[in-house]
Chains A and B, each alone.
Chain A
């Protein structure tokens, strides 16, 4: 905390999905100086598609335990079925039921609460850490990156997000980096809250639509509850200039600093296909827009640009 450098963690989120958040993060990764990247959009992790990380270390992630019935011990009393509030335990369907049909636990619905394990008088339920995914420390052309792959239909994304952020912070402290740039998740629920708590700044990427405005309002309430300095930029602003002005006026009322507009440009999709960030791909006006957003982020952080 009191070291002589001051590292800043910037989290880019979007409220509503599909606003171009990850494309912007990839460009900020290109523009920022010494940084580590953290992909906390674990449900739909896409940053690696642009940054093509070379994986240096690969680790299992366990967000909790799961229950499993031990066939040899189970007497099919059915007590666990009634005890499970998540309806994860059932007898097999009637058609395939034999005299000694044993209950089955559907791992997709098991919340890992352990109630069945304690209820079972025959000690017939094992309770072990489940591997819910993998997380990686990688090297990219823009420096280190921490990212993850959550297993299909797995929960616990909030825990995974916290873990990724903690690992990114370790790297930043070890290498005395200036920035942690976090690609956050959409929505206002569990993974988003894990993405933003304690960050130095949240950047909301929105778009000039009624949905964008509505979602921004909900995200703004969330960041103000956690008292995180919040800024916002409007992507594809020229799609509806009137709406853009309306949203900017509203940002002001909400005490959110506007840090710029980014125009609509099909080059964003082409860059994605070429596995480049937008600012790498084109020197066009959109790249200027994004550079200006980055400058405003720095200003907002109270920095001066040395160059």
Chain B
């Protein structure tokens, strides 16, 4: 928390997967870096992080993300079973006076250890993922990687966010959806950019995502990817709900091909750089009321 108070965090999110979150967050970050801004990109899609494919950062540090879970101190345990009663997640059970812990189910609430009458539990750490830091074209890239078969994405996302904070602008590439990992990614952002595509699936998932950011009370706007491919229903919905659309990327086969090869749009298709520059200008124009409430005016 050493950086300037005027640090701005933009989370790029979407209800539906594959709408172009990563494309948009990496290109926005690169535009900012090219403008000489100090920028961090956090890849919070820790189940399938993809920003590195496009930015190819030089990774210079890697550290484990650990969570706490209870471990039994055998000679203190009387097998009374209080811990199993306390645990809401069935992560600790007592069978024939023996305590069994299922670390994968544990939410690290600390309840069992706190309430064990014999003080026979202690919390120990175990790894559920890693956080890597690196740099690419002037962008400080931080990415999380959930270990395969682990469930606690939110812990790794939290680890990514804790490693951030050295730059003026933070861009977050969130996981898809609207549930716990997404909320963990976007909850402290100043602004959320919701990416969608103009199809019935895109619209349905956008509505869920709008519901989520409204519930969290974070200002937001919409980006439409492949904006000319489907029907006009997403645009109509945004009009009706007074939601600002601040970025529209056309359906261009060359973009899809560049994406397939892991190339950055603004590097290989220069004509699109203006779109991202404009989007950022709209965003940083604080006087625009639509961007402060996620609504048009008050």
Binding site for B on A (CB under 8 A): 14-19, 22, 43-44, 46, 49, 64-65, 83, 85-86, 108-109, 111-115, 118-119, 150, 152-155, 157-158, 185-193, 207-212, 214-215, 218, 221-222, 225-226, 239-240, 243, 266, 269, 272-273, 275
Q: B17-30: contact bitstring with A at CB < 8 Å (1 yes, 0 no)?
A: 11100100000000
The complex places the Cα of A153 from the Cα of B18 at a distance, in Å, of 20
The complex places the Cα of A240 from the Cα of B109 at a distance, in Å, of 47
Nearest Cβ in chain B — how far from A154, in angstroms? 6
Residues of B within 8 A of A157 (CB): 179-180
Nearest Cβ in chain B — how far from A120, in angstroms? 13
Residues of A within 8 A of B215 (CB): 108, 152-153
Q: Are B114 and A115 in contact (CB under 8 A)?
A: yes
The complex places the Cα of A200 from the Cα of B88 at a distance, in Å, of 31
The complex places the Cα of A211 from the Cα of B230 at a distance, in Å, of 24
**Closest B-chain residue to A46, C-beta based?**
B201
Q: CB < 8 Å: which of A118, A243, A273 contacts B231?
A: A273
Q: B94-134: contact bitstring with A at CB < 8 Å (1 yes, 0 no)?
A: 00000000000001111100110000000000000000000
**Closest B-chain residue to A268, C-beta based?**
B199
Q: Are B177 and A43 in contact (CB under 8 A)?
A: yes
Residues of B within 8 A of A226 (CB): 149
Residues of B within 8 A of A83 (CB): 114
Q: Are A218 and B179 in contact (CB under 8 A)?
A: no
Q: CB < 8 Å: which of A49, A191, A192, A239 contacts B260?
A: A239
Q: Are B53 and A269 in contact (CB under 8 A)?
A: no
**Closest B-chain residue to A191, C-beta based?**
B179
Q: CB < 8 Å: which of A44, A112, A266 contacts B176?
A: A44
The complex places the Cα of A273 from the Cα of B146 at a distance, in Å, of 36
The complex places the Cα of A269 from the Cα of B211 at a distance, in Å, of 25
Q: CB < 8 Å: which of B178, B179, B180, B204 contacts A49?
A: B204
Taking A43-B208, A109-B183, A114-B86 as given, write out 14 further A-B residue pairs in contact, using a Cβ cutoff of 8 Å, ordered by the A residue number: A14-B18, A16-B48, A17-B16, A43-B177, A43-B178, A44-B201, A85-B108, A85-B110, A108-B216, A109-B187, A157-B179, A192-B47, A218-B148, A225-B148
Given contacts A152-B211, A153-B216, A155-B180, contact A208 B88 (CB under 8 A): no
Q: Are B151 and A190 in contact (CB under 8 A)?
A: yes
Given contacts A64-B88, A188-B146, contact A115 B212 (CB under 8 A): no
Q: Are B262 and A210 in contact (CB under 8 A)?
A: yes
Residues of B within 8 A of A218 (CB): 47-48, 148
Residues of A within 8 A of B34 (CB): none
Nearest Cβ in chain A — how far from B216, in angstroms? 7
B127-164 with Cβ < 8 A to chain A: 146, 148-151, 153
Residues of B within 8 A of A221 (CB): 148
Residues of B within 8 A of A272 (CB): 199-201, 230
B184-233 with Cβ < 8 A to chain A: 187, 199-201, 204-205, 208, 211-212, 215-216, 229-231
Nearest Cβ in chain A — how far from B21, in angstroms? 9
Interchain residue pairs A-B with the least CB separation, the first 10: A17-B17, A18-B18, A43-B177, A113-B109, A187-B47, A209-B260, A155-B180, A210-B262, A152-B211, A240-B260
Q: Are B107 and A111 in contact (CB under 8 A)?
A: yes
Q: Are A114 and B111 in contact (CB under 8 A)?
A: yes
Given contacts A19-B18, A108-B216, contact A44 B48 (CB under 8 A): no
Q: B220-258: contact bitstring with A at CB < 8 Å (1 yes, 0 no)?
A: 000000000111000000000000000000000100110
The complex places the Cα of A215 from the Cα of B137 at a distance, in Å, of 24
Q: Are A215 and B50 in contact (CB under 8 A)?
A: yes
Residues of A within 8 A of B16 (CB): 17-18, 44, 46
B76 at the interface (CB under 8 A from A): no
Q: Are B205 and A46 in contact (CB under 8 A)?
A: yes
The complex places the Cα of A185 from the Cα of B179 at a distance, in Å, of 12
Q: CB < 8 Å: which of B111, B177, B200, B260 contacts A210?
A: B260
Q: Are B151 and A158 in contact (CB under 8 A)?
A: yes
Residues of B within 8 A of A85 (CB): 108-110
Q: Are A118 and B151 in contact (CB under 8 A)?
A: no
Q: CB < 8 Å: which of A158, A192, A214, A269 contacts B50?
A: A214
B181 at the interface (CB under 8 A from A): yes
Q: CB < 8 Å: which of A65, A188, A209, A275 contacts B88?
A: A65
B175 at the interface (CB under 8 A from A): yes
Residues of B within 8 A of A86 (CB): 109
Residues of B within 8 A of A186 (CB): 17-18, 47-48, 176-177
Nearest Cβ in chain B — how far from A163, in angstroms? 15
Q: Which of A65, A155, A189, A226 has the most CB of B within 10 A?
A: A189
Given contacts A17-B16, A273-B200, contact A240 B257 (CB under 8 A): yes
Q: Which of A113, A225, A266, A272 has the most CB of B within 10 A?
A: A113
